[in-house]
Structure 1
Amino acid sequence: MTTAIDDPRRTGYAAEVVANTLLDLARAEGRQLTQMQVHKLVFIAHGFTLALLGRPLMYNTVHAWKNGPVVRRLWQHWGERGTRPIDAPLPVSAGEPDVGSDAEAMEVIRSVWNAYGGMDGVELSRLTHTRGSPWSQVYGQSADLIPNEITREYYTGLARSA
């Protein structure tokens, strides 16, 4: 039996699960994504999930690196892949729940895909580097973690203005 504390809808999903969901949406349209696109789309989906559902989409931390918000766990899979398309789903640890059965989270992911999925990595990077963005609030500080609270506040503002 899953308790509330073990419920992934409460604590979030593995970043690989979220990334694979976005890669699946791209494949369904006959497209491929680069690691930069996936990093930014995962972060944007996480931000809107925090804002709209009041809970994290993923449990992994996000870092404010030079090239924008990065999930270290995803970076460990792809490293310096650059602009080469990702050609296979990421491995997911045994026992990790799939986001597909979470209708609310899937609605947010699909909405993010519909709004931002057609953008290339550079366009997505510009969005995540905008003045006032979570990345811009944290980048250059001694701690590079982007807190969920900052992300939630920013994406709540975006959701309200949409």
Structure 2
Amino acid sequence: MTIAIDDPKRTGYAAEVVANTFLTMARAEGRDLTQMQVHKLVYIAHGFTLALLGRPLIYNTVHAWRGGPVVRRLWQHWGERGTRPIDGELPVSAGEPDLGTDAEALEVIRSVWANYGCMEGEELSRLTHRSGSPWSQTYGLPTDLIPNEITREYYTGLARSA
């Protein structure tokens, strides 16, 4: 079962908004990001937002695919891009809120960037594939969705051990 991305009860931001935030941070440092890096950074930030703020960062569903946690909306933009750097920002639908006034969410994103932004895609992938991770708990199940509750529990444990 998936939640429609236009669900009026949704909470959080469009994954594209969060992805663009990471892309902007990378460009400010003269760096490029691959689609794998952005997928993993968005997911890690989502996990820590669930754990630390008690709310989702993104309203999009996250799927446990062979390559790890994937937000289908982001995959639809990049597809099989591989390791080629992403050029330009993703289009954001009209009316989507931005992160501009959400100081708490921006702080989590900045912290994720400071701690994980320097990692290559494969290294980030290994982190999200660890034993006990939300991906490892859900990959191969009949539904490929990674529930927010499993993600929250896992990242709460990581936040406590940090």
Report SS of the residue matched to 2:140.
coil
Matched with 1:121 is: 121
Deviation at 1:100, TM superposition (A): 2.2
TM-score (norm 1): 0.94
Unaligned runs of 5+ in 1: 1-5
Q: Please, which runs of 5 or more residues in structure 2 have no aligned partner?
A: 1-7
1:61-94 per-residue CA deviation (whole Å, 9 max, x = no partner) reads 0000000000000000000000000010000000
1:152 maps to amino acid:
R
Partner of 1:55: 55
2:63 corresponds to which letter in structure 1? H
SS of the counterpart of 1:69?
strand
Question: Within 2, Cα distance between the matches of 1:13 and 1:87?
Answer: 22
Report the Cα distance in structure 2 between the residues aligned to 1:102 and 1:81, rounded to whole angstroms. Answer: 31
Aligned twin of 2:5: none
- Runs (4+) of structure 1 exceeding 6 A deviation are none
> Secondary structure, in 3 states, of the residue corresponding to 2:76?
helix
2: CA distance between counterparts of 1:150 and 1:157?
A: 11
Aligned length: 155
Aligned counterpart, 2:106: 106
Aligned to 1:26: 26
1:89 alignment partner AA: E
1:1-150, aligned counterparts within 5 Å? 11-150=11-150
CA drift of 1:101 comes to 1.5
The amino acid that maps onto 1:136 is: S
- Root mean square deviation, CA, Å: 1.1
AA of the residue aligned to 1:93:
S
Seq. identity, %:
83
Secondary structure at the aligned position of 1:136 is classed as helix
Give, in whole Å, the separation in 2 of the partners of 1:49 and 1:22.
15
